[in-house]
Amino acid sequence: MIDLIGYGAFFLSTALIFAIITLGLNLQWGLTGLFNVGIAGFVAIGAYTSAILTTPDTPDRIGGFGWPILAGWAAAMALTAAAAGFTGFATLRLKSDYLAITTFGVAVVVQLAALNAVGLTGGPFGVAFIPRPFAGLQSDPLAFNLVNLGIIAAVTLACYLALERLSRSPWGRVLRALREDERAAISLGKSARSYRIQAFAVGGAVMGLAGAVQAHFIGFIAPDNYIPTLTFQVWAMLMVGGSGSNRGAVMGAVVVWAVWIGAGWLTSALVPVDWQARAASLQIVAIGVMLCLILLGRPQGFFGPRRGRGME
């Protein structure tokens, strides 16, 4: 029973971290219509920033700054926002496809740096000994898991409320107007571009924060965590939840993560061991097909508000 609660807390914590990333994507795509295929890259920037700044001194790697965790999170948000802002600055005066291609490139380059800039990121072995909040409780796994869940839930709630407020503010209304009326966007010209850059940067900051929170939750990060599959999962979450809705983003994240875990559990229980790697690929195929089917049949998702406020 206690195991089950512990596992439930762990599952929900992971799902909520995904929810934070999805909330960031919802600001970029759902509200502003900016296509980001490099989510994994922005999450990685946040994770590595906070990890490097807060870990103790390690040989062969820059570090030993020993910052407090919250300072690490703030730095993660700032740096990811800067990276996203620059990506937007370089591409948002061009056709939307260029942003998509560039974000894809960002993810490739961040992955490359994580793997090869050994002196900064620890290379393929990643960064270990990332301080965990309330580490003193670690001797009691249940309490520790529940406290972590509490922290992550609080961060998720804070992001949710902040983004809800933002999307209702005059700033959010401008973004929505820009998204829905291309002519208005063109007539606003330069300032339309600057609004979009801001939205992309803020969305990036939220993703960076999620990466940092996850790094401190797991205590260890490696380049393998930030492959295109992550980007893909987050997109599936937003599309299932219903883009344009923050509530949908959170619901979609929890539901898709549950399906993902459930499918993984099923394959490990039913598929012979030497076929499991292949079955895992089939799982991704299924999600890809599902994403396409949602685009074709139910572009408004399943958990967003009823028609009229979401994706029109």
Partner 1 sequence: MSLQFLLDGLISGAMIGLGAIGVTLTYSILRFSNFAHGDLMAWGAYAALVAVGVVGGLAGPIAPLSFGLPLILATLFAMGFTAGLALLLDWLLFARLRARGQAIIVVMASFGASMALRNLLEFLFSSSPAYYSRALQIAQPVGFGIRITPDQGALLVMTVALVTGMHLFLTRSQRGREMRAYSQNPALARVTGIDVSRVVRTTWIIGAALAAAAGVMVGTLVQIRPLMGLDLLLPMFAAAILGGIGSVPGAVLAGLIIGLSEAAAVMFIGAEWRAGVAFVILMAVLLVRPTGLFGVTER
Q: Which residue in the block uniquely carries the two structure tokens 């520790």?
A: 144
- Residue closer to partner 1 by CB (options 115, 162) is 115
| 309 secondary structure, DSSP code | S
Contact status: 102 vs partner 1 (CB under 8 A): yes
**Among residues 101, 142, 158, 161, the one that binds partner 1 under rule CB under 8 A:** 101
- Residue closer to partner 1 by CB (options 16, 106) is 106
Which conformational region is residue 123 in: left (phi greater than 0), alpha (psi within -120 to 50 degrees), or beta?
A: left
- Residue closer to partner 1 by CB (options 80, 91) is 91
* Per-residue exposure over 133-170, b if at least 16 CB sit within 10 Å of its own CB, e if not: beeebeeeeeebbbbbbebbeebbeebbeebeebbeee
**Among residues 6, 105, 219, 305, the one that binds partner 1 under rule CB under 8 A:** 105
**Among residues 71, 78, 82, 115, the one that binds partner 1 under rule CB under 8 A:** 115
- Residue closer to partner 1 by CB (options 140, 312) is 312
- Residue closer to partner 1 by CB (options 109, 258) is 109
Contact status: 263 vs partner 1 (CB under 8 A): no
Binders in 135-174 for partner 1, by CB under 8 A? none
CB 233 within 8 A of CB 210: no
What 3-state DSSP class applies to 84?
helix
Q: Give the integer Cα–Cα distance in Å for 96 and 112.
A: 25
Listed as own residue / partner, the contacts of 139-144 with beta carbons closer than 8 Å and 24 or more positions apart are 141/6, 142/2, 142/5, 142/6, 142/9
Q: Which residue in the block uniquely carries the two structure tokens 């700054």?
A: 65
How near is the Cβ of 27 to partner 1 at its closest, in Å?
A: 16
Contact status: 98 vs partner 1 (CB under 8 A): yes
Binders in 274-303 for partner 1, by CB under 8 A? 277-279, 281-282, 284-285, 287-289, 291-292, 295-296, 299
Binders in 33-92 for partner 1, by CB under 8 A? 33, 35, 37, 90-91
Binders in 226-245 for partner 1, by CB under 8 A? 228-229, 232, 235
Structure token digits, residue 272: 């012979």
- Using the contact rule CB under 8 A, the part of the chain among 57-65, 109-117, 211-219, 249-257 near partner 1 is 109-117
Q: Give the integer Cα–Cα distance in Å for 204 and 32.
A: 13
Q: Which amino acid is at 25?
A: L
Cα distances from 90 to residues 102, 196, 200, in angstroms, run: 9, 12, 12
Contact status: 106 vs partner 1 (CB under 8 A): yes
The contact set with partner 1 (CB under 8 A) reads: 33, 35, 37, 90-91, 94-98, 100-102, 104-106, 108-109, 112-113, 115-116, 228-229, 232, 235, 277-279, 281-282, 284-285, 287-289, 291-292, 295-296, 299
